[in-house]
Structure 1
Amino acid sequence: MKYFATISALALCLSSAAPALAQSDHVPPGTKLAANQTFTYWLQDDLKTLDPDLSTSKDGNDVLQQMFDGLYQQDDHGNLVPAMAKSFEVSDDKLTYTFHLRDENWSNGDPVTAQDFVYAWRRLADPKTASEYAWYIELMQVKNAHDVIQGDKPVTDLGVKALDDHTLQVTLETPIPYFRQMLVLSSTFPVPEKVVEKYGSDWTKPENMVSNGAYTLKSWKIGESIEMTKNDKYWDAANTTLTDLKFIPIQDLNQALTRYQAGELDFVQTPAGQYPRLKKEYPDQAHAPPRSCVYAYRFNVGPNGPEALKDVKVRQALSYAINRNVIIDKILKGGQKPAYSWTHWATAGFKAPNIAYADWTDKERTDKAKELLKEAGYGPDHPLKLRIMYNTSSDHKKIAIAVQQFWKQIGVDATLENFEWKVYLDKLNTQHDFDVARTAWCADYNEASTYLDVNTSWSDQNSGQWKNAEYDKLMKDSKTAADPEADYTKAEQILAQDMPLAPIYAYSLPMLLNAHIKGYPFDNVQLNWYAKNMYRTAQ
Structure 2
Amino acid sequence: MTLTTLLKASSAIVLLSAIAANAQATHPETGETLAEVQSFTYRVLDEHSSVDPQVVEDVTGAEVVRDLFEGLMNQNAQGELIPGVATGFEVSDDGLTYTFTLRDNARWSNGDPVLASDFVYAWKRAVDPALASEYAWFMELMSIENAAAIIAGEMDKDDLGVTAPDDSTFVVTLSQPLPYFAQMTTHSTTFPVHPATIEAHGDAWTRPENIVSNGAYILQEHVPQERLVRVRNEMYWDNENTIIDEVTALVINDVNQSLTRYLAGELDRTEVPPGQFQRLSAEYPDQAISIPRLCSYYYNFNLSEGGPEAFQDVRVRQAMNLAVNRDVIVNNVLGAGQTAAYNFTPVRTADFTLPDLPIAAMTQEDRNAMAVTLITEAGYGIGGEPLSIELLYNTDEAHRNIAVALGQMWQQTLGIQTTLANQEWQTFLQTRGNQNFEMARGAWCGDYNEASTFLDLVTTNSGYNDAKYSNAEVDQLMAAAKTAEDPQPNYTRVEQIIAEEVPIIPIYHYADGYMFNPTLKGWPVDNVEQNWYSRELYFVASE
Q: 1:532 aligns with which of 526, 531, 535?
A: 535
Whether the 8 Å contact between 1:456 and 1:472 is mirrored in structure 2 is yes
**Which digits, 9 at most, give the CA deviation of each residue in 1:11-57, with x for residues without a partner?**
xx9852799957x64x412x211111000011111112111101111
- Aligned twin of 1:403: 406
% of aligned pairs identical? Answer: 47
- Whichever residue aligns with residue 76 of structure 2, its letter is D
User: Any residues of structure 2 matched to 1:157-168 within 5 Å, and which?
Assistant: 157-168=159-170
1:366 and 2:368 matched: yes
- Aligned twin of 1:28: 30
- Aligned twin of 2:522: 519
- Aligned twin of 2:253: 251
In 1, Cα distance between equivalents of 2:379 and 2:94: 55
Seen in structure 2, the aligned counterparts of structure 1 residues 18 and 484 have a Cα distance that, compared at 3 Å, is farther
Whether the 8 Å contact between 1:20 and 1:238 is mirrored in structure 2 is no
Whether the 8 Å contact between 1:335 and 1:508 is mirrored in structure 2 is yes
Post-superposition shift, 1:366?
1.0
- Aligned twin of 1:434: 437
Whether the 8 Å contact between 1:87 and 1:100 is mirrored in structure 2 is yes
1:129 and 2:143 matched: no
Seen in structure 2, the aligned counterparts of structure 1 residues 14 and 506 have a Cα distance that, compared at 3 Å, is farther
- Aligned twin of 2:204: 202
SS in 1 for 2:470: coil
Whether the 8 Å contact between 1:457 and 1:467 is mirrored in structure 2 is yes
In 2, Cα distance between equivalents of 1:260 and 1:243: 20
- Aligned twin of 2:351: 349
How many residue pairs get matched? 523
In 1, Cα distance between equivalents of 2:318 and 2:270: 35
In 2, Cα distance between equivalents of 1:75 and 1:495: 33
Seen in structure 2, the aligned counterparts of structure 1 residues 188 and 15 have a Cα distance that, compared at 3 Å, is farther
Q: 2:422 aligns with which of 407, 414, 418?
A: 418
SS in 2 for 1:377: coil
**Which digits, 9 at most, give the CA deviation of each residue in 1:154-202, with x for residues without a partner?**
0011011111111000000111111111111111100111101110110
- Aligned twin of 2:452: 449
1:507 and 2:510 matched: yes
Whether the 8 Å contact between 2:24 and 2:36 is mirrored in structure 1 is no
User: Any residues of structure 2 matched to 1:110-509 within 5 Å, and which?
Assistant: 110-381=112-383, 382-409=385-412, 410-429=414-433, 431-509=434-512
SS in 1 for 2:63: helix
Unaligned runs of 5+ in 2: 1-16
User: Any residues of structure 2 matched to 1:44-63 within 5 Å, and which?
Assistant: 44-63=45-64
In 1, Cα distance between equivalents of 2:25 and 2:67: 21
SS in 1 for 2:274: coil
Seen in structure 2, the aligned counterparts of structure 1 residues 167 and 17 have a Cα distance that, compared at 3 Å, is farther
Seen in structure 2, the aligned counterparts of structure 1 residues 280 and 19 have a Cα distance that, compared at 3 Å, is closer
- Whichever residue aligns with residue 56 of structure 1, its letter is E
In 1, Cα distance between equivalents of 2:473 and 2:307: 22
SS in 2 for 1:483: coil
In 2, Cα distance between equivalents of 1:270 and 1:334: 8
Post-superposition shift, 1:522?
0.4
In 2, Cα distance between equivalents of 1:260 and 1:14: 34
- Whichever residue aligns with residue 350 of structure 2, its letter is A
Seen in structure 2, the aligned counterparts of structure 1 residues 18 and 139 have a Cα distance that, compared at 3 Å, is farther
Q: Quote the RMSD (CA, aligned, Å).
A: 1.4
Task: Pick the structure with greater CA Rg.
Answer: 2
Whether the 8 Å contact between 2:72 and 2:84 is mirrored in structure 1 is yes
In 2, Cα distance between equivalents of 1:17 and 1:100: 40
- Aligned twin of 2:84: 83
- Aligned twin of 2:44: 43
Ranges of 4+ aligned residues in structure 1 off by more than 3 Å: 17-22
SS in 2 for 1:118: helix
Greater relative CO, 1 or 2 (CA 8 Å, sep 6+): 1
- Aligned twin of 1:8: none
Post-superposition shift, 1:254?
0.6
Seen in structure 2, the aligned counterparts of structure 1 residues 181 and 17 have a Cα distance that, compared at 3 Å, is farther
In 1, Cα distance between equivalents of 2:436 and 2:175: 35
- Whichever residue aligns with residue 58 of structure 1, its letter is V
SS in 2 for 1:509: strand
In 1, Cα distance between equivalents of 2:19 and 2:501: 65
Whether the 8 Å contact between 2:394 and 2:424 is mirrored in structure 1 is yes
- Aligned twin of 1:6: none
In 1, Cα distance between equivalents of 2:354 and 2:45: 30
Whether the 8 Å contact between 1:339 and 1:503 is mirrored in structure 2 is yes
In 2, Cα distance between equivalents of 1:14 and 1:458: 64
In 2, Cα distance between equivalents of 1:195 and 1:240: 25
- Whichever residue aligns with residue 80 of structure 2, its letter is N
In 1, Cα distance between equivalents of 2:468 and 2:18: 59
In 2, Cα distance between equivalents of 1:147 and 1:99: 24
Whether the 8 Å contact between 2:376 and 2:382 is mirrored in structure 1 is no
Post-superposition shift, 1:461?
0.3
Q: TM-score, normalised by structure 2?
A: 0.95
Whether the 8 Å contact between 2:96 and 2:177 is mirrored in structure 1 is yes
In 2, Cα distance between equivalents of 1:17 and 1:464: 59
Post-superposition shift, 1:380?
2.0
SS in 2 for 1:399: helix
